[in-house]
Amino acid sequence: MSTDSIVGAMAGMAMDRTQMGIQTAMIRQEVKADQQLVDLLAGAARAAPAPGTGLVVDKTA
């Protein structure tokens, strides 16, 4: 292998590593956003009154 081919291979590997890092960061952000949504929905579900103990429904409205 010549020096040029080794340098080219190393540059390609560095580019691949950079792209993998960017993809990993994007996936982490998506997971974080999904977890925030799950936490929001779980909090709303926990805050809801138990069945049969909620406010009276005005059926004449």
Mean model confidence pLDDT for the chain: 88
13 domain-assigned = yes
Give the residue numbers spanning the domain of 10.
1-36
User: Domain for residue 46, yes or no?
Assistant: no
Q: How many structural domains are present in the chain? A: 1
Average pLDDT over residues 26-30: 97
| Confidence at residue 14, expressed as pLDDT on a 0 to 100 scale | 93
Q: Model pTM?
A: 0.60
Q: Which of 47, 24, 43, 25 minimizes the C-alpha distance to 35?
A: 43
27 or 46: which leads in pLDDT: 27
Please give the Cα distance from 57 to 30 (Å, whole number). 39
In a domain, 42, yes or no: no
SS3 call for 52: coil
Q: Is residue 53 a part of any domain in this protein?
A: no
Predicted confidence at residue 28, as pLDDT, reads: 97
Q: What is the pLDDT of residues 10-21, one digit of tens each?
A: 999 999 999 999
DSSP state of 55: P
